[in-house]
Structure 1
């Protein structure tokens, strides 16, 4: 077993805070979770395959950012993977096999998306305030964006692309202090310009365009709410409002994906389930794991097969990191890849 470096330990300490407070696997009483408010119908997800076990070096595993590549592979990140273990994996959903795509001794990657502009795989590094990219099959790591935005370092959590390849980031700055310093940031497709679209947010996490690319949904973890930013053709904000208040009990809002009908799939931290809403905020369904499933405590994100309705949800906890599958309410589009 490789020894973990001091730098990696520092990064994982940061991620430990992230896991405990936002995008993680720690939770409270399972019986309390079971009585969280649910509305609409129940969609029962089924175990598809196990991808990871709890890492001895970090004491946890946390799957995130499922996204389909053009080759049909499903790419998944493990936020807390130590050096030498796969930080990015490619899953063959037909064969139920997976292989390592990328590892390094530094990154703590919390999301993944393919750019419509250059076709590369982009990863947000929460611990180091960077966005990096890889060749579609892994390798050729490049730094896309690093440094301060309006005088403050980012903690980039989730990412989404517009149709021209500009990147939109949920910046969870202030998460560890419990302060509303978070932002939504737009980065030009060449990585040269970063613009704050919304600020003073309570640990923004999920971010996704709506089905028509007219606006941006984003969730705030410590307020359990989803807001909507209306954007013009140049990516400037024309309006903003709170759209949905998620009645999650002890569970908190994590990542967001959107299907072809505009429905929102809201991941939950602290409960292995997803809440599904229509674009007007009506709770349509709750995606649940089979009864008596143990050791899985967060359903962070989901990817819906492009042009199909088969959905793959990333679920993690003391039992390990898994993919669970279910039938989505509508077909998958670019926004159905959980960024």
Structure 2
């Protein structure tokens, strides 16, 4: 199997290719080891199962957007699945089985989440700028939103829902050109009104509400920075500010999840790991794939924490294939740690 180089575009390593063609030793759920200084803990994740292999047609596999359905099954998207291949999979994590629930001939889906308004699955199509929805069983595909937002088409990456079912999207527009033209876009739950809440961002990727729905955490991948956008100020938002600087080395900031205690799980592209911070920016833990299993794995793109429980499942990908790894989260899962 040909080894693919680490891409500079976190969580969307395959999208550039798509755009040109058409974007240890521990076996327990989590083994904790105090890091020097005692402030940061290492959490060893363990392999649950391999979901995908590198696709011959695209030369990659990239798993993203894990989200639990009402039956406790995990939905996962494969960003680089070729036309006709499994683009959305439903995984029985207990039986360690998976099956295709959706495919099509064009989508490059980078996230998935269930709407609290209509219960449908919502997918972001990075390459075509669309938001697509599916019935809970994966059928009845619909284009929920398409077209320009304030004069420019989106490159939607991740999404988050508020309590009423309105969508908040990280728009990575300008990423391939290296321009700071990324945005945060709000789309009402009917898909009729889209508004830019923040712009001038550098490849925004992860997006998640805080536990009180007062603001949004947003990762800017080319800056290795997590910014915070408070909602409810003048004109509906307050100024966005840099909240956390992520020392990622060769890795870059990918998707974000938030647990019941408000802790942020920041996924990394370029390294099969996640870093965990509290809401005040203190680094609490690093979640890692054991070293002997990490060869051929380049990214931990996202995580879903079992709603009401602490078992966490992160999507990990690279030349070795696409995998699910599990670990014990620091607090219980909520809507903001279940998809996006």
Deviation per CA, 1:17-52, whole angstroms, max 9, x where unpaired?
A: x965232569xxxxxxxxxx9960100000010000
Corresponding residue for 1:275? 275
Corresponding residue for 2:10? 22
Deviation per CA, 1:176-203, whole angstroms, max 9, x where unpaired?
A: 0011010000000000000001101000
Deviation per CA, 1:128-183, whole angstroms, max 9, x where unpaired?
A: 00000000010100011000011001000000000000000000000100110100
**Does the aligned pair in 1 maintain the 2:298–2:316 contact within 8 Å?**
yes
Corresponding residue for 2:331? 330
**Does the aligned pair in 2 maintain the 1:110–1:126 contact within 8 Å?**
yes
The 1-side partners of 2:186 and 2:200 are apart by 16
Q: Show structure 1 runs of 4+ deviating over 6 A.
A: none
**Does the aligned pair in 2 maintain the 1:25–1:318 contact within 8 Å?**
no
The 1-side partners of 2:300 and 2:45 are apart by 11
The 2-side partners of 1:124 and 1:303 are apart by 17
The 2-side partners of 1:297 and 1:86 are apart by 21
**Does the aligned pair in 1 maintain the 2:10–2:268 contact within 8 Å?**
no
**Secondary structure at 1:315 match in 2:** strand
Q: 1:193 to 1:25 in 2, by over 3 A?
A: closer
1:295-314 pair list within 5 angstroms: 295-314=296-315
Q: Is 1:74 matched up with 2:62?
A: no
**Does the aligned pair in 2 maintain the 1:25–1:297 contact within 8 Å?**
no
The 2-side partners of 1:90 and 1:236 are apart by 37
The 1-side partners of 2:277 and 2:299 are apart by 19
Deviation per CA, 1:77-120, whole angstroms, max 9, x where unpaired?
A: 00000012100000111111111000001100000000000000
Corresponding residue for 1:243? 243
The 2-side partners of 1:233 and 1:335 are apart by 22
**TM-score with structure 2 length normalisation?**
0.89
For structure 2, the residue ranges without an aligned partner over 5 or more in a row are: 15-35
The 1-side partners of 2:305 and 2:226 are apart by 20
Paired residues in the alignment total 313
The 2-side partners of 1:151 and 1:291 are apart by 47
Q: 1:233 to 1:268 in 2, by over 3 A?
A: same
